[in-house]
Amino acid sequence: MRSSGSMRAGAIGTLIVATSIVQLANGFFGTFISLRVSLEDFGATLAGLVLSSYFAGFTVGALRCGRIIERVGHIRAYAAFGGLVAAATAAMPLRVGPVSWLVLRAVVGFGCAGVFITTESWLNAKALPSERGRVFSVYMVGTFLALAAGQLLISRVDLWSAAPFNKIVALFAVGLVMVSTTRAEPPQATASQALAYGQLIRAAPIAMLGSALSGMMAGTFYALVPAWAQGEGIDSSTIALFMFAAVLGGLVFQVPVGRVSDRFDRRRVLAVLGLGFACTAVLLVLQAPTLVVVLATAALLGGFLSTLYPVCVAHAHDCMPADLVVAVSARLIMVSGLGSVLGPLVGTRVMASFGINGVFYFMAVVALVLALVAWFDSLRRASPLHQERSFDILPPQASPLAHAAWSCPEEPSSVHPSEAAPA
């Protein structure tokens, strides 16, 4: 008879592997849809709406899926959200058009948010307090590696065929089978306290601004850069390598930035990251486009970009009472999601007028504004004390984590669910 410890470890391992497979599909899907939209004659505005609709659905899902999980349980919720993604994905090659794809991509975003929140709240309940940091470190490394590997699948598909959609559906189905056949003890949800936006803006204005601007930059980068490369006739394998380097750069930056963020004023760390992104984006425009240099620059861009939002979240938690951690996270998710929706919409108009150079300059200006505001705020106001719940390691294209919808009342002093960068 298996011990409870081995059963718990097996359930955790199954969840991590299954969700890594889902992230593999999600990473591939994000870049693929950007390339496919660039081939369709949707026009700049409708193309931007299609590309940003995923983030809109994801944001709504992150804020609403907790109630569904509470009502039906984790296994059924995971199956429902994953089935929703699979159904919407399978319908996309059957109904090719900007309006139908806008709706279907939003459904995909909603379902993906549900899958990730279900997984992370489940892990939070399964892992012992002493193991939680290590469990979520493994989970996030698996997530980043799967997202990166998903980029490499781009070089092996026919963008015009239905085969990419079928592969995505198959990967989601594998994840569903793995989770649906395991046993789990669903965690108990607790109601989050209400928090007015005005209260958070007054306490942590930089966190709010940074969440919005980082979401705008991330939405623009991941939606438009592959589309531009496709339009320029760059081969799919090169596009895949560029996006692969960006995601891996995000992984490499997480722990070092987390440690620095836990030791210094997070607003100044945010300013350095914003300035680094702005300089790197301009450098990418001005430098000679050799493959080695471009890939190195992509890794830097991904690294700076992927750590902006986590630093904002950590700074907000420093400024707010510990009992409002769930409400603060929910508000930042909404703000970041709105920025992610707005980014591709503005970016497509900029790209239509000024090309990809204009898009990189646009992102550089946004990053520079964030850097300047964060730095001057650090000079004007004293740094808040760092709280125990410090740095969230978050994958690109998936900013919210389970603590935004769930918490564990029996373990109020435990390490943050996604804590993987020690102070």
Please give the structure tokens belonging to residue 117.
């929140």
Q: Cα(first)–Cα(last) distance of the chain, in Å?
A: 40
How high is the pLDDT of residue 409? 37
Give me the residue label for tokens 């994953």: 82
Question: Does residue 82 form part of some domain?
Answer: yes
DSSP code of 158?
A: -
| pLDDT-derived band at 310, boundaries 50, 70, 90 | confident
How high is the pLDDT of residue 375? 94
Q: Which helix (H) or strand (E) holds 35?
A: helix 4-39
Report the distance separating Cα 28 and Cα 169, nearest Å.
12
Question: Does residue 54 form part of some domain?
Answer: yes
Question: Does residue 212 form part of some domain?
Answer: yes
Give me the residue label for tokens 């804020």: 63
Q: For the chain, give the percent of residues with pLDDT over 70.
A: 80
Based on the number of CB atoms within 10 Å of its own CB, is 389 exposed (0-12), middle (13-18) or buried (19 or more)? buried
Number of domains making up the chain? 1
Are 414 and 408 a contacting pair, CB within 8 Å?
yes
How high is the pLDDT of residue 188? 57
Q: Which helix (H) or strand (E) holds 292?
A: helix 291-319
| pLDDT-derived band at 252, boundaries 50, 70, 90 | confident
DSSP per-residue codes, 207-229: HHHHHHHHHHHHHHHHHHHHHHH
Question: Does residue 409 form part of some domain?
Answer: no
How high is the pLDDT of residue 400? 39
How high is the pLDDT of residue 214? 92
Closest CA to 93 of 106, 104, 85, 109: 104
Are 63 and 153 a contacting pair, CB within 8 Å?
no
How high is the pLDDT of residue 262? 81
CA 376 to mean position of chain CA atoms? 28
How high is the pLDDT of residue 335? 86
| pLDDT-derived band at 204, boundaries 50, 70, 90 | confident
Question: Does residue 295 form part of some domain?
Answer: yes
pLDDT over 70 at 7, yes or no: no
Phi-psi region of 182 (alpha: psi -120 to 50; beta: other; left: phi over 0): beta
Question: Does residue 26 form part of some domain?
Answer: yes
Q: For the chain, give the percent of residues with pLDDT over 90.
A: 22
Task: Over range 156-171, report the average pLDDT.
Answer: 88
Question: Does residue 216 form part of some domain?
Answer: yes
For the chain, give the mean pLDDT. 79
Task: Over range 259-285, report the average pLDDT.
Answer: 91
Please give the structure tokens belonging to residue 168.
């995505």
| pLDDT-derived band at 110, boundaries 50, 70, 90 | very high
Q: By residue range, what is the domain housing residue 254?
A: 4-404
The listed range with the strongest mean pLDDT (76-85, 115-124, 316-325) is: 76-85
Report the distance separating Cα 276 and Cα 27, nearest Å.
25
Q: Where are the alpha helices (DSSP H) in 98-154?
A: 98-126, 132-152
Lowest mean pLDDT among 50-59, 322-331, 340-349, 355-364: 322-331
Write the pLDDT tens digit of every residue in 367-402. Answer: 999 999 999 988 888 777 665 544 445 555 444 343
How high is the pLDDT of residue 408? 38
DSSP code of 153?
A: G
Report the distance separating Cα 222 and Cα 208, nearest Å.
21
Q: What is the CATH number of the domain that holds 140?
A: 1.20.1250.20
Distance set, CA 179 to CA 71, 138, 175, 325, 350 (Å) = 18, 18, 6, 29, 43
Question: Does residue 243 form part of some domain?
Answer: yes
How high is the pLDDT of residue 186? 53
Task: Over range 99-108, report the average pLDDT.
Answer: 94
How high is the pLDDT of residue 367? 96
Task: Over range 169-187, report the average pLDDT.
Answer: 77
Closest CA to 236 of 147, 299, 161, 153: 153
